[in-house]
């Protein structure tokens, strides 16, 4: 479960499931693992959205996605340019766009208490390591401000980055595009949307429905 943060919180805490609603805002994090959650600031993330009165916002402190309504997945690839510097960022943006761009969610207005402005967005990115072939343990750097700009509305929960995706050879180097090698970067993304019903317990986690229970 990934939870919302206060804009004044500056400390990342490893938490147990019983204290899962405490975290921090860390800008442009690239480390992986369950303890790594990151979120951009509450500044305007996209001038395009700002000009038309749209754009995501930060959730209220302590917010958690208790009810998942829709999960979308996608992937993105970057093949050219300085991929060590911004390849994972470009691939991550493409992955998130791929996850959401073929969907329409008009039912959120009725399904989410308070409508789209209270819709929570939970993003998880699988990013390849810096040195995948050498057993690298840290994902490539991702500028999360660019990922956040993709969303036109909703409340964006901490973006989670874990080791995943892959890098692979393309057999093609285009020097004119800034290529130094033929390595491409692929990022996988899951984007869940839902809301917080306000209920909490010691064993708190999002609602799950099992066919064994008749659902």
| Band (135; pLDDT cuts 50, 70, 90) | low
CA dihedral 165→69→202→123, nearest 10 degrees, is: 30
Question: What is the average pLDDT across 101-117?
Answer: 88
Q: pLDDT per residue over 52-62, tens digit each?
A: 888 888 888 88
- Nearest CA-CA partner of 140 in 162, 124, 155: 162
Minimum mean pLDDT among 39-48, 66-75, 120-129, 149-158: which range? 39-48
Which one-letter DSSP state was computed for residue 214?
Answer: T
Q: pLDDT per residue over 163-175, tens digit each?
A: 999 988 888 888 8
């Amino acid at each position: 479960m990934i939870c919302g943060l206060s804009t004044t919180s500056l400390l990342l805490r490893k938490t147990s499931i019983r204290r899962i609603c405490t975290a921090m805002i860390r800008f442009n994090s690239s480390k992986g693992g369950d303890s790594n959650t990151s979120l951009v600031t509450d500044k305007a993330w996209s001038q395009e959205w700002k000009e038309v009165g749209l754009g995501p916002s930060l959730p209220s402190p302590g917010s958690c996605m208790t009810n998942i309504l829709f999960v979308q997945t996608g992937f993105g690839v970057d093949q050219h340019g300085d991929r060590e510097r911004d390849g994972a960022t470009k691939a991550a943006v493409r992955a998130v766009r791929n996850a959401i761009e073929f969907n329409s969610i008009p039912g959120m207005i009725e399904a989410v208490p308070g409508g789209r402005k209270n819709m929570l967005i939970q993003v998880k990115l699988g990013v390849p390591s810096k040195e995948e072939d050498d057993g690298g343990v840290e994902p490539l750097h991702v500028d999360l401000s660019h990922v956040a700009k993709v969303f036109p509305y909703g409340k964006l929960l901490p973006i989670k980055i874990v080791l995943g995706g892959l890098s692979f050879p393309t057999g093609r180097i285009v020097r004119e595009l800034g290529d130094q090698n033929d390595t491409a970067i692929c990022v996988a993304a899951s984007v869940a949307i839902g809301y917080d019903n306000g209920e909490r317990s010691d064993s708190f986690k999002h609602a799950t429905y099992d066919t064994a229970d008749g659902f």
